[in-house]
Structure 1
Amino acid sequence: MFLKKRKFSAILFVLSLLLFVTAGCTSKSQPSNSSKITLNFFNQKPEISSQYQKLARIYTKEQPNVSIQITTSGQGGGAAALQAKFASGEAPDIIMLGGLPEIDRYKNHLVSLQGLPATKMILPSLRSGGVSDGRLVGLPVDLEAYGWSYNKEVFARAGVDASAIHNYSDFVKAVKKIDSQKAKLGLNGVFGFNGADTNSIASVSAQFTSQAYDNDQVKAFKSTKFPWKYGSQMHNYYTLIRNYSVQPILSVKYDPSVQDLFYNGKVAMIPQGNWIVPTLDGIEKGFVQKKLGMLPFFVRNDGSDRLLTGSSWYLGVTNDHPKREKAAKDFVNWMFTSRKAENVIINEMRFVPATKNFDVSRLPDDLSKDIYRIGSSKKARAPIHKQYPNGFATQVLGPYIQRYFVNDISWTELEKVITTKYQQLRDIQSGE
């Protein structure tokens, strides 16, 4: 009886030892839930929220110890929502930022991204848009082109050859030729300018302010004066828009201008960039390849004008949660270096990549290929409107251009007001 008890005790000891060893091995090979990291990603582009969700799913499948929560707030409310996050002590780990003024606001929260492999891949013309106090703290989301989007089918029916437009005079002749055939072509106007949207007014202004700063975004951000070097051309274009756009111009909103007026051939042109590509191809597959072309604004008017190419948004990583900082950097780096991420970015987001040495043949339409060639060349010119003082585009430039559109203010008066208010805002925001 005693021997049986001893055997039983020995068996129990061996079993408990085996369980202990097995548990130890399991804890090493399969990390516990306590080591799982949850990253918070703040996105300001609602139109690509689902694609970012897809990127997060792909990444977390490869990295099971990481989960990614994406918060999206845009359509003008993103900046305020982001501020509220920081004010409440819930700073995101990854943030999308629009321009150097917004980057400057959070510069003490942003870590340097200089050491990431992805940094070496960024197009040189886009780097300065993510630099604060000499540190690279933001990587460009994509490469965008700013100019005139035109409907190739409308141009063809009007007998206008876009490749023959080389200067402002040629452009005006084309506008007048199209306008003279409005009834026959079934147009509501030559332009479908969304005068209700101050953001579009600001992006048009970049055509004339960017080159005054040699397209240097840091120089533009530090300047205390609104540049009028190409003010006469700015005046000419806004007047042309006022005279040949769908009326009443202030009632035209962004979505209808793209999805109704432009898509349905009710206008020949809208001053928008390739960010309208996913919308148009989402309505009709292949529309972009068949019908969408782009023309530059003729500012210098000396044969050197080309589409402005830059990035409106940059991704940064915060230092508010040190334990999550490396994981956040790894995910950002993956988005810029992974072939899987790239496939989503170019085929589903329909972005033109902001990286060097990209195989342009992989882009799904000819316009995107042209934009990449222009934006990756040594002659690339970046727009600087994102570097205006905070509130300038929405509270000053936009409203006063809107007043000019309805003949409520002269151009001379407009110049005086814009000059004064620009300097006031810059002085306030720089602490002077």
Structure 2
Amino acid sequence: MRIFKRLLALFLLMIMPFVLSACGSNSSSSDSDQKVTVNFFNQKPEITAQYQKLIKMYQKKHPNVKIQLTTAGQGGGAAALQSKFSSGEAPDIIMLGGLPDIERYEDHLLTLKNLSASKNILPRLVSGGMTEKHRLVGIPVDLEAYGWVINRKVFAKAGVDPDQIHNYQQFVSAVKKIDAQKDRLHLQGVFGFNGADTNSITSMSAQFTSGYYKNDQVKAFESKKFPWTQEKRMKQYLDLIKQYSVKPILSVKYDPSIQDLLFNGKVAMIPQGNWVIPTLDSLEKNWVQNKMGMLPYYVKDNGKDELLTGSSWYLGVTKDHPSHEKAAKDFINWMYNSKEAQDVIINEMRFVPATKNFNTARLPDDVSKDIYQVGTSKNAMTPIHKQYPNGFANEVIGPMVQRYFAGKTSWENLKQVISNQYRQLKTVQSGK
């Protein structure tokens, strides 16, 4: 028996290194082969194909990571995202539409301050991705410009040089000069204002409300008052649009205003931004480089007006699935930092990066280069319409401006309704 015990002990000592080695090998193999699925919720349907391309590129280099893209937009994105959380299927990466979204999902969002993708964000855009406790939870998707998208060929045929327009009075003179030649130029109107779209009306309103907050988006979000400091100029623009736009204004929809009216030279300008670039160049190669320009809204009576530039969307990472966090962060870092991903973003999505020290020579058209120059200047101004209360666009300001265009409400009544409803929505949604 004693000899047996000794032989058993000796046998165990001899095989132990092999057992430990096998265990270590299995552990290492398990870690390296561990697969993870990252769910990415996108609210911009127009760039779904480009995101899918980026995902394929990333998965080719990271075979153990699968990124599942879900897209919901065109007004239904917010509800679809909320239903994901309500059903316990919170995505890992989410596209957030301003501080109201961030407040709603704050308890689910990770701090991204130390993410390498966060290091080069344009400083004035940081507040758009922060919680009330000054925690950075969102990274801007791109740099967008808001103003008038113009057809330079129409301007040229009318003998109007857009580069010589520097104030509101000169803008009005240009509008009247183009209108006087409407028949010769075969125009349906000077403006192709898409009055059927309440979101476009809302983003236009930011031209007259943003200056009040001086790039502090948190302050704009917390305010319970709709600022009327540029009331006079806002009314002047709405009256100008009412007179010189395609009629009836409320029948003009978003897609036709871009793909028919502007593209085909049936109007001189539409109230949009550089997000229309991919659509226009898909209709005709180099249309943007050859024909597109942008003009700001001339709001100041003294000083130079520039295009409003900011980001409508921010990317956040949730903490609902801890085992997915690293993979989600790594993918975002790759999108923002790798040249191959940026090439897709700037050349196919046609985004202008919302980052410091970007080489504008890489941007594929002059409009995008101009937007980056304006957006990174010391006097750049951020639009604040994404910080309006939930429901304000579709239920209040959009319908009230539509009623004003149709002659069914006075300016004073419009002001009163907008002010009251803005305050009520902010009060209810803030709980204060």
TM-score range, shorter chain: over 0.9
The letter for the 2-side match of 1:154 is V
Q: How far 1:231 moved relative to its partner?
A: 0.8
| Residue 106 of structure 1: how far off its partner (Å) | 0.5
Aligned to 2:5: none
Q: Given that residues 336 and 355 in structure 1 are in contact (C-alpha distance below 8 angstroms), is that contact kept between their aligned partners in structure 2?
A: no
> Structure 1: 5+ residue runs without aligned partners?
1-18
1:220-369 → structure 2 map (5 Å cutoff): 220-369=220-369
The whole-number CA distance in structure 2 between the counterparts of 1:423 and 1:333 is: 39
What SS does the corresponding residue of 2:268 show, helix, strand or coil?
strand
Tell me the residue number matched to 2:123.
124
Residue segments in structure 2 that go unaligned for 5+ positions in a row? 1-17
TM-fit CA distance, 1:323: 1.0
**Residue 51 in 1 paired to residue 50 in 2?**
yes
* Aligned twin of 1:160: 160
Aligned to 2:194: 194
Q: How many residues align?
A: 416
CA distance in 2, matches of 1:170, 1:308: 19
In 1, Cα distance between equivalents of 2:406 and 2:215: 31
> Are residues 22 and 288 of structure 1, via their aligned partners in 2, closer, same or farther at CA, if it must alter by over 3 Å?
farther
Native 8 Å contact 2:124 2:215 kept in 1: no
TM-score by length of 1: 0.93
Matches of 1:292 and 1:168, distance apart in 2: 21
TM-score normalised according to structure 2 size = 0.93
Question: Which residue of structure 2 aligns with residue 423 of structure 1?
Answer: 423
The code of the aligned residue for 1:372 comes to Y
Q: Which SS does the other structure have where 1:112 is aligned?
A: coil
Q: What is residue 377 of structure 1 aligned with on the other side?
A: 377
Q: How much has 1:293 moved relative to structure 2?
A: 0.3
Instruction: Determine the structure 2 residue equivalent to 1:176.
Output: 176
Give the AA of the match of 1:84.
S
Matching residue's letter, 2:380 = A
1:137 aligns with 2:137: yes
Residue of structure 2 in register with 1:398 after alignment:
398
- Displacement, 1:289? 0.2
CA separation in 1, counterparts of 2:33 and 2:80? 30
Coordinate RMSD, CA, aligned: 1.8
Partner of 2:113: 114
Which letter maps to 2:374? I
Contact 1:210 1:216 in 2 (8 A): no
Quote the Cα distance in structure 2 between the aligned partners of 1:367 and 1:124. 22
1:301 deviation in Å?
Answer: 2.6
Alpha-carbon separation, structure 1, partners of 2:179 and 2:173: 10
* Counterpart for residue 93 of structure 2: 94
Residue 329 of structure 1: how far off its partner (Å): 1.1
Instruction: Work out the CA distance in 1 between the residues paired with 2:81 and 2:151.
Output: 37
Instruction: Give the 3-state SS of the residue equivalent to 2:212 in structure 1.
Output: helix
Superimposed CA distance per residue, residues 130-150 of structure 1 (whole angstroms, 9 cap, x where no aligned partner)? 011200000000000001111
Whether 1:81 aligns to 2:80 is yes
Matched AA of 2:167: N
Distance 1:33 1:338 in 2: 23
AA aligned to 1:108 is D
CA contact (8 A) 2:166 2:304 kept: no
Deviation of the 1:351 alpha carbon:
0.4
Aligned to 1:14: none
Deviates more, 1:225-234 or 1:298-307: 298-307
Q: Distance in 1 between matches of 2:406 and 2:391?
A: 22
Structure 1 moving runs of 4+ over 4 Å: 19-34
